[in-house]
Structure 1
Amino acid sequence: MVNMMDNEPSSELELDEPLGRVPILSYGSGHMLNDITSSCWFTYLLVFLTDVGLSPSDAAVVMLSGQLADGFATIFVGELIDRFGHFKLWHAGGSILVAISFSSVFGSCLPCKLMGTNSSTLETVGYSTFASIFNVGWAVAQVSHMSMVNCMTSNPTSRVALVSCRNAFTMIANLSLYGIALLIFSLLQSVSVIVQYRWIAYVSISIGSCFVAAFLIGTKEPVLNQPSQNKSLSRISWAHWFKKVLYYQVALVYMFTRLVTNVSQAFLAFYVINDLGMHQSSKALVPAIIYVCSLIVSVMLQETRWSSRRLKCYFSAGAMLWILSGVGIVFLPSRMHNFMYALSITIGAANALMTVTSISMEGVLVGADLNGCAFVYGSLSFLDKVSCGIALYILESYQGSTKISTNHESSVGYSLTRLGLGLVPAVCSLLSAMVAYTMDLPDTRRRLLVEPLLG
């Protein structure tokens, strides 16, 4: 009994200690496979599906089926992790599912080969099936990875550093994807679109799997029930969170943030090619610039001393940058398409500021209630996936039926792609900033990391 009582304070002190560089970097690498496949999913899936012959409405169905499967999976996975723990085991299982199914999403229609027909209905069902499997695995890996943050440390600055490092690896993953795509589009111009995307999928999976292995080897399995929670070892009920006003505020901020990043990523390739008339390489180059800027800002954020007030201020700054960028996208004439590179810089900075701080707000919401952390991350992810799926479905469906011409020589053509890319993220940014302003976040202590991540 004496030993147990002696261990409790020491364990609490250990959990409260700032994390060093190695565990933070090891943790951040764990979402690399999810990130590189997600980047390919949102950037090229709709373009790929329409290139291989699906109508925009059928391509929207494939996207929506994957998003819905992802959303519902997060709820069940969050509940199971809260019950049984074993974060790394869940993460490994989800990553295996992602690696196996992703190549099939961007490969040929397997049911069509088995049935010996290429009907549009069968193609839609085939791609939707593999999209759903992929997104279930993606959700398992995502929820288990995000839920680890609050169990690895109770130090507020280290928690933000973990999120910021994860976001930095997200930028690396996206840059890797666009580098791979640019190389394959340049070297394999003579082969079919299916073969090009199949190679992109294979290379992306190989790179992401290496980082997953590094994460599993280098990250210590966190303990779900910390000694400080021995007085309340039972799982926290869902009703506990539903009674908190802050839960709904954080949920709205996170949902709007994900709408900003996902909608903009999904329609960026269409916009630069069809609306601005830029070269084909721009559908890799423009997103690459965005993620270079996001990477730089994310690394800078790792060195920031955080407080609740700064979380709200930095988030609002990112939202304002996106509003300005959205206005620029709507009114940018095609003859001035090179200005898109400047807009890419502000978009990249805005994405990093909003993503890092919104996820960090989730950590503030969870606080020390570790026995319910997976439900929080899972339920908010559910809201994110369903809302993004519905938004992309509506925009892509109307894109197929709405023909608004764009004059590439002079004036601005207000196509649905242009309006969707410019207005939807801008409006979501404005709404999220308004919600963030009303938040009453618990104040956090500001501590530096043991080792600065920039060396």
Structure 2
Amino acid sequence: MNIMDEPNFRPTSSIVQKLSFGLGHVFNDLCAAMWFSYTLFYLNVVLNIQSTTAGTLLMIGQVIDSVATPLAGWAIDYTGDRRAWHFGGTISVATGFSLLFSLKPTELTSSVLAYYVLSITLFQVGWAVVQIAHLSIIPEISRNHSHSSDLTAIRYTASVCCSIAVYLITLVVLQTDDNSSIGPMDFYKFKEIALIIVFIGILASLFFYCGLLGTFENDYEIIREADDVNNLNTNNHDKHLLKQSTIYLVALMYMASRLFTILNLIYIPLYLDERGNIEVVEKEKMRQTIATIPLVCYIASFMTSLMLKCRGRCCPDKVTYLIGSTTGLMASIWLGSGVSPNSDGELYGIAIFLGISGSSSMVASLCLTANFVKANGYGGGLVYSVVTFTDKLISGAVVLMVQNL
């Protein structure tokens, strides 16, 4: 039967469908921006938890996420009901994230640690389920590589907008009249930020469910070898996914780009706080830069993602990834060679380079993953769980190592 004759099918180029799809990961992206940018800072500076303990809590979250990811991928592909899993994961994210920023302990007892571990577990399991359910919808509702690329670019653009929103919210909420440094008295400000994020995230998820009603397609359309612009067709469709060498190369590219982005998110605020303690920086200025430096980074990332959507076939995913990697390496060398004291201009320049790098490499790696699914006919949930497994585990291990150093 012709695909256009199916009663539940709507053209994948529908603007409503694309916008609705972009809202499906907004809650996750808002929470991720807060989790990676400010959780370690919140635990260290606001709650005065020892750096090694804070790093361990973050590591626990990443380990739980990495374990939940393949289980979520298997379960989603086995049942096939991606929207139901997405809804359950959203409830878990809302509960765990709210609890994480709702307790101000007077001392760090075993019951308090258990509370944080439980909150982190609920949050990370729900986050993994929502992530895999949303990613696996890309090959489900797209019919060719162009549509997959559009959905991927929209998803990343929405992610960048979420990060910008979090930094703007943080900038507004953390403003104060007494020019005091950030510390324990800011607990309720961080709690307010978290609750605002939960409200916006739930609202976006509701629009996602309404916009994608009746748009799913059960049969994957395998990309022909002639249309496989990234040469990801393995010609071994009878082989198990884990026996394909290509999946490990795709996973490695995604892991590297994600690790680079995550470490920048986590350590930019801590770097700025440490720089403010060493150098003579006004307290009011410190409060601003902790939000504005990441904000500039993500504005650059947002502009890059818009440009990538218009790149066409002249700039394949592999070339885009190479450009992003080179830009990130330049930013790292610039930062590693040292920034002049009180030179905020250099910091903003580095932030722009980091934004361009993160956007290019992430969009390219996600496009390569979607193309691999479409070119080989595998279930999206399992492929995305394999690809995202390593970045979560390794990022947690790297953070724990840095905290112990």
Query: Normalising by structure 2, what TM-score?
Result: 0.87
1:50 is matched with which residue: 44, 49, 63?
44
C-alpha contact 2:237 2:376 (8 A) present in aligned 1: no
* % same residue: 25
C-alpha contact 2:69 2:389 (8 A) present in aligned 1: yes
Provide the rounded CA distance (Å) in 2 between the counterparts of 1:354 and 1:129. 33
Q: Does 1:199 align with 2:205?
A: no
Q: Cα RMSD between the aligned structures?
A: 2.4
C-alpha contact 1:225 1:370 (8 A) present in aligned 2: no
Q: Which residue of 1 aligns with 2:19?
A: 25
Q: Which residue of 1 aligns with 2:166?
A: 177
Provide the rounded CA distance (Å) in 2 between the counterparts of 1:153 and 1:46. 38
Distance 1:188 1:88, change over 3 A: farther
Deviations 1:25-51 (A, max 9, x none): 110111111001110000110111112
Q: How does 1:134-173 map to 2 (within 5 A)?
A: 134-173=123-162
Q: How does 1:362-373 map to 2 (within 5 A)?
A: 362-373=369-380
C-alpha contact 2:148 2:371 (8 A) present in aligned 1: no
C-alpha contact 2:96 2:121 (8 A) present in aligned 1: no
Q: What is the CA-CA distance between 1:119 and the residue it aligns to?
A: 3.3
Q: How does 1:187-226 map to 2 (within 5 A)?
A: 187=176, 192-221=185-214, 223=216, 225-226=218-219
Provide the rounded CA distance (Å) in 2 between the counterparts of 1:207 and 1:196. 17
Q: How does 1:8-157 map to 2 (within 5 A)?
A: 19-51=13-45, 52-108=47-103, 118-157=107-146
Q: What is the CA-CA distance between 1:213 and the residue it aligns to?
A: 0.8
Unaligned 5+ segments in structure 2 are 223-235
Q: Which residue of 1 aligns with 2:396?
A: 389
Provide the rounded CA distance (Å) in 2 between the counterparts of 1:82 and 1:242. 16
Provide the rounded CA distance (Å) in 2 between the counterparts of 1:134 and 1:295. 26
The amino acid of 1:346's aligned partner reads F
Deviations 1:8-62 (A, max 9, x none): 6856xx79x6623221111011111100111000011011111212100000111
The amino acid of 1:29's aligned partner reads L
Provide the rounded CA distance (Å) in 1 between the counterparts of 2:97 and 2:350. 31
Q: What is the CA-CA distance between 1:166 and the residue it aligns to?
A: 0.6
Q: Which residue of 1 aligns with 2:335?
A: 329
Query: Normalising by structure 1, what TM-score?
Result: 0.78
Unaligned 5+ segments in structure 1 are 1-5, 230-235, 399-455
C-alpha contact 1:106 1:197 (8 A) present in aligned 2: yes
In the comparison of the two structures, how many residue pairs are matched?
377
Q: How does 1:299-448 map to 2 (within 5 A)?
A: 299-306=306-313, 310-331=316-337, 332-398=339-405
Distance 1:355 1:121, change over 3 A: same
Q: Secondary structure of the residue that 2:143 maps to in structure 1?
A: coil
Provide the rounded CA distance (Å) in 1 between the counterparts of 2:391 and 2:254. 7
Q: Secondary structure of the residue that 2:138 maps to in structure 1?
A: helix
Q: What is the CA-CA distance between 1:129 and the residue it aligns to?
A: 2.0
Q: Secondary structure of the residue that 2:92 maps to in structure 1?
A: helix
Q: Which residue of 2 aligns with 1:253?
A: 253
Q: Which residue of 2 aligns with 1:298?
A: 305
Deviations 1:80-125 (A, max 9, x none): 111111111111111111111111112215xx6xxxx733444333
Provide the rounded CA distance (Å) in 2 between the counterparts of 1:74 and 1:224. 23
Provide the rounded CA distance (Å) in 1 between the counterparts of 2:370 and 2:40. 33
Q: What is the CA-CA distance between 1:226 and the residue it aligns to?
A: 1.0
C-alpha contact 1:148 1:222 (8 A) present in aligned 2: no
